[in-house]
């Protein structure tokens, strides 16, 4: 496994930015042999994450605040998380912040497009950097 912070973030995103789960009766099988409850994309992300870390431990280290399921209209899926502890957190170092993890069509993952989908009542943001990971949104 490559030893880099970027790769570690990718693995964490694979574990957190999907709703797939393994069938409980397959817990003793190798990762690639387990049946998955979820769509094909989420199953692939779950397996990728599972080959590199304990997905359940990673998911348990965050509070899921909001989940926006994939839709053909928005062409994206997003999860809003707050870390339970900041120590060792890959995404945030500041108290009181949330991380938004999103996946979907590239044109919808630009920061300005993502915000307009997630927060349609807000005015368009012209100066946001292009990014699929917005980790500095303050909690209300």
DSSP 8-state symbol, 23:
-
Distances (CA, A) of 16 to 21, 31, 44: 11, 17, 13
Question: Pairing between strand 97-104 and 21-22?
Answer: unpaired
Q: What is the pLDDT of residues 16-42, one digit of tens each?
A: 988 999 999 998 999 999 999 999 999
- Run of H or E residues at 100: strand 97-104
pLDDT at 67 over 90: no
Mean pLDDT value across the chain: 77
- If you average pLDDT over residues 9-21, what whole number do you get? 90
For residue 107, what pLDDT is reported? 79
Q: The whole model's pTM is what? A: 0.71
Average of per-residue pLDDT across 45-62: 92
CA distances from 106 to 6, 79, 111, 122, 130 (A): 19, 17, 10, 21, 10
Backbone angles phi, psi at 61, to 5 degrees: -85, 0
The torsion of the CA quartet 82, 83, 85, 90, rounded to 10 degrees, works out to: -140
């Amino acid at each position: 496994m490559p030893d880099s912070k970027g790769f570690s973030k990718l693995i964490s995103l694979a574990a957190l930015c999907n709703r797939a789960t393994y069938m409980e009766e397959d817990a003793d099988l190798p990762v690639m042999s387990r049946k998955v409850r979820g769509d094909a994309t989420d199953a692939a992300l779950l397996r990728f994450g599972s080959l590199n870390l304990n997905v359940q431990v990673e998911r348990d280290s965050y509070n899921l605040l909001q989940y926006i399921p994939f839709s053909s209209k928005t062409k994206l899926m997003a999860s809003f998380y707050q870390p339970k502890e900041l120590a060792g957190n890959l995404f945030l170092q500041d108290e009181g912040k949330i991380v938004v993890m999103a996946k979907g069509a590239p044109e919808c993952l630009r920061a300005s497009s993502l915000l307009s989908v997630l927060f349609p009542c807000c005015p368009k943001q012209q100066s946001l950097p292009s990014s699929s990971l917005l980790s500095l949104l303050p909690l209300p």
